[in-house]
Chains A and B, each alone.
Chain A
Amino acid sequence: EPEVTQTPSHQVTQMGQEVILRCVPISNHLYFYWYRQILGQKVEFLVSFYNNEISEKSEIFDDQFSVERPDGSNFTLKIRSTKLEDSAMYFCACRSPGQPQHFGDGTRLSIL
């Protein structure tokens, strides 16, 4: 079965540094998402992306965050200046129209 691939599996970054999390969605899926999950807490919606633009974003997704689909296969989440509270698991997901989302296994982001 096709998979959503996320890299790296674990990213350690100094506070204030920029970080880019990468995702390779399932080919021919058209809708893309980023979520985060702080340890022990619920999965939180960050942003959805369709037709090369942001479709919806949450209050968490402030000016420090951006998303991009640079080459038609990768889907990236950039955090410009990381804070301690950005430490979490970040999940990428994708789906076809009318179908459920498929999730990757996440990138664990640790901010020191």
Chain B
Amino acid sequence: SQKIEQNSEALNIQEGKTATLTCNYTNYSPAYLQWYRQDPGRGPVFLLLIRENEKEKRKERLKVTFDTTLKQSLFHITASQPADSATYLCALDLRTGGFKTIFGAGTRLFVKA
């Protein structure tokens, strides 16, 4: 069956540390993978997109890696801050002939001051 799994429901880290979130998928062949941030009561906000032929992308304190052999993406937030506390969603854009995006359940990140 097809699955997207994000490593844990919740992750607690200390301010200043690096947060690492994991997204694993099975039985999908995504054209690309995206990471979004979602705050309570709000819509997802796009953070980073990585294509199937890319290994790594960076944007400021954010880094994402994509391993299509392992079917895994890692999302890193360096020098984390309490304001980074949110739910982070992994999403796959599928090659279906049309346009379909499948989301993981998300990981809630809590950054303690």
Contacts and interface: CB of A to CB of B under 8 A. Distances in A.
A35 B103 CA distance: 10
Interface stretch (A14-22, A63-71, A75-83, A99-107): A99-107
Nearest to A44: B103
Q: Which of A48, A101, A102, A104 has the most chain B CB within a 10 Å cutoff?
A: A101
Given A41-B105, A42-B106, A101 B98 contact: no
B64 to A, nearest CB: 12
Interface stretch (B17-25, B44-52, B69-77): B44-52
Main secondary structure of the interface of B (DSSP, over half): strand
Main secondary structure of the interface of A (DSSP, over half): strand
A105 B40 CA distance: 10
Interface residues of B, number: 23
B42 interface: yes
B99 A33 contact: yes
Contact of A56 (B45, B49, B96, B105): B96
Interface size of A as a range: 20 to 34
B46 A101 contact: yes
B101 to A, nearest CB: 6
Given A42-B104, A42-B105, A42-B106, A103 B43 contact: yes
